[in-house]
Amino acid sequence: MGNIAKDINSKFPNNKVKALINVVYTANWIKSHQNEFFKPFDISPQQFNILRILNGAKGALSVQTIKDRMIERAPNATRLMDKLCAKDLITRIPCPEDRRVVHIEITKKGGALLDDISKEMKNDLLKKLTEKEASQLSDLLDKIR
């Protein structure tokens, strides 16, 4: 089992400071693991999030709606979508009523990539937690926000 005090060789003035640093440290640890996992698929975790949003929508969404639904609010979401479009994983659909609005839809190739990823994806990062502990952790994180 990990120990944040040993992992970063530090002492903490109280448990709230320790908990906050542990949340940030663990978030970065998870992000690092995700980056490594998605490398062979040639996408980032944020691009995966966009594909999942579109796949779950069962139709086209505006760029703004996608940005609003993203787990990690990326200021570069448009650039992320440009890369997905260049790989033919999503397609842009101009809005006939408003030229400023663009809708985005997942392509068959994007859907197939999600299928491939889901075959490889496991909940290994949380394997040490029971269902009850995972629920408790989620509730505590909700409480922080």
- What's the pLDDT score for residue 7? 86
**Overall fold of domain 42-112:** Arc Repressor Mutant, subunit A (1.10.10)
Hey, what are 34's tokens?
């995700």
pLDDT higher for 84 or 100?
Answer: 84
- Mean pLDDT for the stretch of residues 4-23: 90
- What's the pLDDT score for residue 20? 92
- What's the pLDDT score for residue 101? 85
- What's the pLDDT score for residue 23? 94
pLDDT tens digits, one per residue of 16-74? 999 999 999 999 999 999 999 999 999 999 999 999 999 999 889 998 899 999 988 77
- 3-class secondary structure, 72: coil
Closest CA to 3 of 25, 30, 34: 25
pLDDT tens digits, one per residue of 86-141? 999 999 998 888 888 889 999 999 999 999 999 888 777 888 899 999 999 999 99
Domain boundaries, the chain: 42-112
- What's the pLDDT score for residue 96? 83
Hey, what are 15's tokens?
């448990």
- What's the pLDDT score for residue 73? 79
- What's the pLDDT score for residue 1? 63
